[in-house]
Amino acid sequence: MEPHSEKILVKGNEAIAMAAIDSGCLLYFGYPITPQNDIPEYLSKHLPPLGGEFIQAESEIASINLLLGASATGARAMTSSSSPGISLMQEGISYLAGSELPGLIVNISRSGPGLGGISPSQGDYFQATRGGGHGDYRTIVLAPSSIQEMYDLTCLAFDLADKYRNPAVILGDALIGQMKEPLVRRSGAKINLPPKEWALTGADGRKPNRLKSLYLEEGELSEQNWKLHQKYERMKKEEVRFESVCTEDAKLVLVAFGSMARVSKTSVELAREEGLKVGLFRPITLFPFPEKPLYDLSKRVTRFLTLELNTGQMLEDVKLSVARDAQVYFYGRPPGSLPSPEEVLEEIKKYYQ
């Protein structure tokens, strides 16, 4: 991958597409929707010359089922869409989880509910972190906050999906998808992945493999649900990722993810310039949520301000994580306009003591 080590200025969406190629994903299925169209645009141009397949399906429902089929053969495959399209995919994502198939689903979310709008929003937090479709399952959810992270976390998402045989979601938004920043196409730490012995590759010289999500024999579905649960518990132990900025001496800690964390970072700097001891805690994995690190932090810091581009979703996870006597405040910015760092600073001053 090193021939790409030159620094380039690209959109977040393009960074995801580049990461897919660099991760060996040569199969893409999708249906166009703003604000993620740069992903299919890039891959439609670059996958065919590499011997890959780019398929613009007739719908999002077809896209996610093409992904399921491709994944069943052991190949790396992905789809991308934006909020309403991701809603249409939920049945297929549930089937992927039920069949224990890896796969990458990118949600460059827009605003809802319904057709909503194309402005940045974090209104899909619940959908992404609570499974989204029917049944008792979770997806791995990664929330990039920079263009380099759009690339790095996409590479990681493919590895984690394979490691756990579970769908992984990249949750971005119109801001982080459309913004350009310098990117280096670097290869990250390699995870040792087991061979995909479960894949449907033709049963020549071996027993046939079966991939399914239907379990009708007495007790077997219960057993399968507990097996999935064990997997999610293992993710909670091994895969939590977060960033902590200036929290060591903080009296108030902001909690924000993705694009909102970017704005908050500057607000922390502005607050520090005024002598206010403010820090930032940024979950990178939304599932598994960094419960323990946040709990540990709440033993030293008692005031938290959660900031989201919605009316309060991650807020619930923050409240569930912190120690009982911690105060959790909230600043919500539903879709329409983005808060400036100065506006966030005003919020900080309301709760700083």
Partner 1 sequence: MSDDRFYYDFIVAGFGGQGVLIIGNLLAYAAMKEGKCVTYLPVYGVEMRGGTANCTVVISSRQIGSPVVGRPHAALVMNLPSLIKYGPLILPDGLLFVNSSLIEPKEACRKDIENFFIPVNEIAIDHGNPKLANMIALGAFNQKTKLVQMTSLFESLEKVLDERYHHLIPSNIEAIEIGAEFARKNISPPAR
What residues line the site for partner 1 (CB under 8 A)? 7-9, 34, 118, 175, 178-182, 262-269, 338-343
**Quick one: 110 or 196, whose CB is closer to partner 1?**
110
**Quick one: 97 or 344, whose CB is closer to partner 1?**
344
Query: Which residues neighbour 277 within 8 Å (Cβ) at sequence distance 6 or greater?
Result: 246, 249, 250, 251, 252
- Least distance in angstroms from the C-beta of 76 to partner 1: 29
**What is the chain's Cα-based Rg?**
20
Cis, peptide link before residue 339, omega less than 30° from 0: no
**Quick one: 27 or 309, whose CB is closer to partner 1?**
309
Buried b (16+ CB within 10 A) or exposed e, 184-200: ebeeeeeeeeeebebee
| Cα dihedral sign, 246-318-85-236 | positive
- Least distance in angstroms from the C-beta of 342 to partner 1: 5
**Quick one: 166 or 264, whose CB is closer to partner 1?**
264
**Quick one: 148 or 224, whose CB is closer to partner 1?**
148
Cα(154)–Cα(24) distance, integer angstroms = 12
Neighbours of 207 (CB within 10 A): 6
- Least distance in angstroms from the C-beta of 139 to partner 1: 27
Nearest C-alpha neighbor of 161 from the set 211, 212, 97, 213: 97
Nearest C-alpha neighbor of 171 from the set 155, 150, 156: 150
- Least distance in angstroms from the C-beta of 167 to partner 1: 29
**Quick one: 140 or 345, whose CB is closer to partner 1?**
345
- Least distance in angstroms from the C-beta of 85 to partner 1: 17
Neighbours of 119 (CB within 10 A): 17
Q: How many residues does the chain have?
A: 353
Alpha carbon of 289 to those of 78, 84, 161, 242, 284: distances in Å? 23, 24, 17, 9, 8
**Quick one: 163 or 185, whose CB is closer to partner 1?**
185
- Least distance in angstroms from the C-beta of 107 to partner 1: 20
- Least distance in angstroms from the C-beta of 271 to partner 1: 12
